[in-house]
Amino acid sequence: MAQSTAAPTTQTVTPLSLRALAPWAVFFGVLMLVLLYFVGAEQGATAVIAGGGVHKWVHDARHLLGFPCH
């Protein structure tokens, strides 16, 4: 039975550059703004989607986050 005499390999961790992180930061920032709009402002006159469906879906979240809706 032969034994391996190779040295263990070490993995180098490269730091995450700002250039690699920027698209993800923009994506999640826009996603958070859209979610904030639907939870905080999607009702009545400013509704993007007609009807009260979105308001009904996020009604409890609105109160939990402190947004008035009545």
Mean pLDDT per 10-residue segment, the chain (70 residues)? 68 80 95 86 72 78 80
- What is the residue extent of each domain of the chain? 21-65
Q: Which two tokens stand for residue 21?
A: 């992180």
Identity of residue 3: Q
DSSP annotation of 58: T
pLDDT of residue 48: 74
Q: Whole-prediction pTM value?
A: 0.59
Instruction: Tell me what pLDDT residue 32 has.
Output: 94
